[in-house]
Amino acid sequence: LSAFSSSPTHSLQILDDRNPEGQIREIHVVEKKPLSEVTATETTKTPTQYRNM
């Protein structure tokens, strides 16, 4: 949620994109984010996914 609050434009896009296409749009919104934010989210999510699997 920190990334969303830091960039209000992305949060607005996510709300707009979620309505028509659903969660699929979330992936595209993440790709639109700056590389720094994308790497930060990947670094935090990667270890959790491996532990779950």
Domain total in the chain: 1
Q: Which pLDDT tens digit goes with each residue over 1-53?
A: 555 555 555 555 545 555 555 555 555 555 555 666 656 655 556 555 556 55
Q: Where are the alpha helices (DSSP H) in 1-53?
A: 2-6, 8-21, 24-32, 35-52
Query: What pLDDT, on the 0 to 100 scale, is given for residue 34?
Result: 61
- Domain boundaries, position 48: 2-52
Global pTM value: 0.15
